[in-house]
Amino acid sequence: MKKEFRLPDVGEGLTEADIVSWHVKPGDTVTINQIIVDIETAKAVVELPSPFAGTVTALLVEAGQTVDVGTPIIAIDVPSAAGAEPEPASPEKPPAAEKPTAKAPDARQPVLVGYGVKPGSTSRRPRKKPPTRPASYPATPSAPPASGPFPPAGSFPAGIKLPPGIPAPPAQPSAPDGGRPAGSAGRPPGAGRGLAKPPVRRLARDLGVDLGGLTGSGPGGSVTREDVARAADEARTRSVPAQDAPDDQPHAVAGLSQGAAAEERIPVRGVRKHTAAAMVASAFTAPHVTEFLQVDVTETMAAVRRARDLPEFSGVKVSPLLFVAKALLVAVRRHPMINSSWDESAQEIVVKRTVNLGIAVAAERGLLVPNVKGAEALPLAGLAQAIDELAATARAGKSTPADLAGGTITITNVGVFGVDAGTPILMPGEAAILAFGQVRDLPWVVDGELAVRKVTTLSLSFDHRIVDGELGSAVLRDVGSMLEDPIRMLAWS
């Protein structure tokens, strides 16, 4: 019996996901809960197990495609006597009910590791109807648009038949020679005039080629990619001056004529798509304010070196970021309002009693911000281990939705990129984010004398609806004071 596995909602309310890679191929034998595919949701790569035991008959979606929840992604031939969950007691469905277009769902799928299958719990977005073929041909530039739903007669290629009951549009009057568009001289009316497939139109738009001035060499006089590329090369050739350019000043246009692409288009998917939406929503929802503070962290750097020699930190990465994180946690305890969010619908400020500390990680797939749950209750060694494990998991692309959800305040370490400071954008639903810049040797006044000290810059962005200037300044000042003298962390904890 052929079974189709539909893309499930893996528990984070997603509506679509990207197929990253398949672990099986047609002809392979699979068992229940065997990992068959990796999908990328809004911010995490998730492994999906098979709900059936049987033989793979077809992969219905290729790797790299974006599919909606509920879309069939793989077909598996399940033996009737296999250990699959029995069908509910009901009359046997006719064969037509097993087609993907049937409204009735298949038998209940078994509960899988990591998520539950909920047939029919999601709804598909209505698909846009493609335009009818005649209406997709634009009118020629030399004539105004014809009245009614039909394009001018010259827009229809020779030999095409109109649907029954639709009268032929009136013939377009010929324009005088002076009214013809550039490039149309000597061309029969209606020959390949703007007739091209969408990818060809997109290529022409990218290269600045006017389809109305081309004579197509494709079927029915349609314009092909080769016609567009040839027209672009001719335009570049005409743009090169007749005189030879000096040898030490090659023309950029000449370089393009050798086949080099003028630009590259990258589809926005997965992590990049989610990050873009989140940053835009945050930037245009929460009024951001950013304050900066230069701090002498010489004592903190000495504390980092001493901590690395302690047995409690054996096998754990100890960096200045650990002490910045601990200082922020202490500051949150002293100023709880900084660890809050704005509830627009209820018109309330929600103060979080637990600190889920987000750590921004630059992973291969984009920016990920996993968070340490209950970070305020961890000792320094436990906090170091939690940050180390979360960062390693994120860089490997294995962060789970649970790792990425529920953050309350965030740290971003821009210093690892050689940057002194920045104006970080708030994570949606949070009131503050702290940027930690690079540590540099700088001249600093100590006890009235000039000395070379380890100096960094802290940048605190906050939501001005929740955090006013006094509170934001107090939090930033407290973090800076604890990094100047780590003993204050003990005194204020």
Which residues does the annotation mark as catalytic? Answer: 464
Cα(379)–Cα(322) distance, integer angstroms: 11
> DSSP string of 26-80?
TT-EE-TT-EEEEEE-SS-EEEEE-SS-EEEEEE-S-TT-EEETT-EEEEEE--T
Run of H or E including 456: strand 449-463
Cα(493)–Cα(479) distance, integer angstroms: 12
3-state DSSP percent of the chain in helix, strand and coil, to 5:
30, 20, 50
CB 231 within 8 A of CB 209: yes
Helices (H) and strands (E) in the chain, counts: 10, 19
**236's tokens:** 């570049």
Burial group, residue 159, by CB count within 10 angstroms (0-12, 13-18, 19+): exposed
Closest CA to 300 of 273, 327, 279: 327
Cα(413)–Cα(463) distance, integer angstroms: 20
**Sequence-distant (≥ 6) Cβ neighbours of residue 295 within 8 angstroms:** 455, 456, 457, 458, 480, 483, 484
CB 463 within 8 A of CB 342: yes
CB 461 within 8 A of CB 426: yes
In one-letter notation, the amino acid at residue 483 is: L
Handedness of CA 190, 191, 194, 197 (dihedral sign): positive
Cα(396)–Cα(361) distance, integer angstroms: 11
